[in-house]
Amino acid sequence: MAQTPPAPLAHPAPHGGAARPSADGVWINWVPAAGLVVQDVPVPAGEPMCAVVQDGRIAWVGPQLQLPLSFQTLHRWDARGAVATPGLVDCHTHLVYGGQRANEFAMRLAGATYEEVARAGGGIVSSVKATRASTEDELFAQAAPRLQALLDEGVCAIEIKSGYGLALEHERKQLRVARRLGEAFGVTVRTTFLGAHALPPEYAGRSQDYTDLVCHEMLPALAAESLVDAVDVFCERIAFTLAETEQVFQAAQRLGIPVKLHAEQLSDMGGAALAARYGALSCDHIEHLSADGIAAMKAAGTVAVLLPGAYYTLRDTHLPPIAQLREAGVPMAVSTDHNPGTSPALSMLLMANMACTLFRLTVPEALAGITTHAARALGLQDTHGLIAAGRPANFVLWPVAEAAELAYWLGHKPACTIVRQGRLVANGLGVAIAREPHGA
Ligand code: NIG
Ligand code: FE
């Protein structure tokens, strides 16, 4: 198929990035959120912590009193007792799309189900129309404030899926916007190709033909343009069958691209076990996940991504099998699933709250879910999701007395101080450079 060569991705960075001040120096006087900080030496309980940032990376983490001599002369940022977490990771979003779907919200309030709305021509396909009708710049302009809302709350890495284009040029447009957002905002973006999200109207009744197009034309072309970090499928009775899902996974495997899956959201399709066989990074939604699915995910090291925003918006009552996942030791991530249909959510802290309240996660589980395990769900476990030496400096200082407050407040956005990609991008705490030795 003849293609117009895409324009270069270069884009000015009006939203931050390199324009923000460097966060290099010693960050003293903070309290770690349990389990989310890897210190270089043991820390006696209650001892204030410090982290050294050099050239945008964390060089050392440990108790302030044991700061190695070589770092003693660096200037110091005094966090004045704030609680620290790693930068948050939103590991499942459909952030780039045209329009919005408040009308469907009203339809569901009047009694229609998600499936009924989708079968009546609404749902994903209505966002496809609006996305196809939008230019790349329009999609960028619409997604930018949504991304900013997530960043303001400490998100330092985010996944953005395609899946509202459902044709090569429109999927490309979405993925290019995702890459541009990462560059313009100075945030780690992982792109996921979700060409198999819904059957586009022009392929009605020709599901196999569309699956072939996804596998043999769209995915190889987009991968060749370096637009695809992972491949996802919506495996569901209103979307793609298990056999079609496997064909897409095989195409991804041929290209060496990792897979993930929208699995068992509305019914148990056996998708999680299939995804695990392909070494999936994550299975997401999983309200109807079976015991076999859990065992397969455990064996494959696949992360369970919980999406309480979609569960809440759809007024779902079928809970994901949290206790069984916990018992099996499957890591559980928590994400917004931001999308215009089932989860118009723009707060990771609200998702942490809902994961606790609706799904009965403990607070430490929810906080690991929006950081460490979310990073693993994106294959970013070596660079994101923990405050640890050797990683890029991505962390958040919160104006709270204890970490549990991060999951406790409902709809409150605390004024935090954010270091993202080694730069001070927000300073709600007013952290200033402390001149006194040891920040005493
Ligand atoms: O993650 N489940 C499928 N995909 C999205 C919904 C997309 C939409 O309705 O626009 C989800 O919930
Ligand atoms: Fe989703």
The SS3 assignment for 140 reads helix
188-207 residues labelled b (16+ CB within 10 A) or e (exposed) = bbbbbbbbbbbbbeebeeee
- Residues within 6 Å of ligand 1 by CB: 94, 123-124, 127, 234, 262, 265, 310, 337, 339-343
Say yes or no to pLDDT of 305 above 80: yes
> Tell me, what's the pLDDT at 99?
97
Q: What is the pLDDT of residue 313?
A: 94
Place of tokens 């919506």: 234
Q: What is the SS3 assignment for 148-165?
A: HHHHHCCEEEEEEECCCC
179-226 per-position pLDDT tens digit: 999 999 999 999 999 999 999 999 999 999 999 999 999 999 999 999
Tokens of 45: 């309980």
* HSE-up (13 A, CA, CB side) for residue 60: 20
CA distance 428 to 417: 5
Per-residue pLDDT, 18? 55
Q: Is 282 helix (H, G, I), strand (E, B) or coil?
A: strand
How far, in Å, CA of 85 to CA of 364, rounded? 11
CA of 418 to the centre of ligand 1 (A): 30
pLDDT per residue over 246-285, tens digit each? 999 999 999 999 999 999 999 999 999 999 999 999 999 9
State mean pLDDT over 293-315: 97
Residue 423 forms beta bridges with which residues? 22, 420
**Which residue spans within 271-354 are E strands per DSSP?**
282-285, 303-306, 332-334
Comparing C-alpha atoms, which of 413, 371, 422, 435 is closest to residue 149? 413
For residue 340, which ligand has an atom nearest its CA? Answer: 1
The secondary structure of residue 85, as a DSSP letter, is E
Residue to probe by mutation, ligand 1, list 127, 339, 343, 351, most atoms within 8 Å of CB:
339
Distance 337 CA to ligand 2 centre (A): 5
For ligand 1, atom 9, which residue shows the shortest CA distance? 341
Closest ligand to C-alpha of residue 197 is 1
Best residue among 162, 197, 282, 306 to mutate for probing ligand 1's pocket (most ligand atoms within 8 Å of CB) is 197
User: Residue 4 has what pLDDT?
Assistant: 47
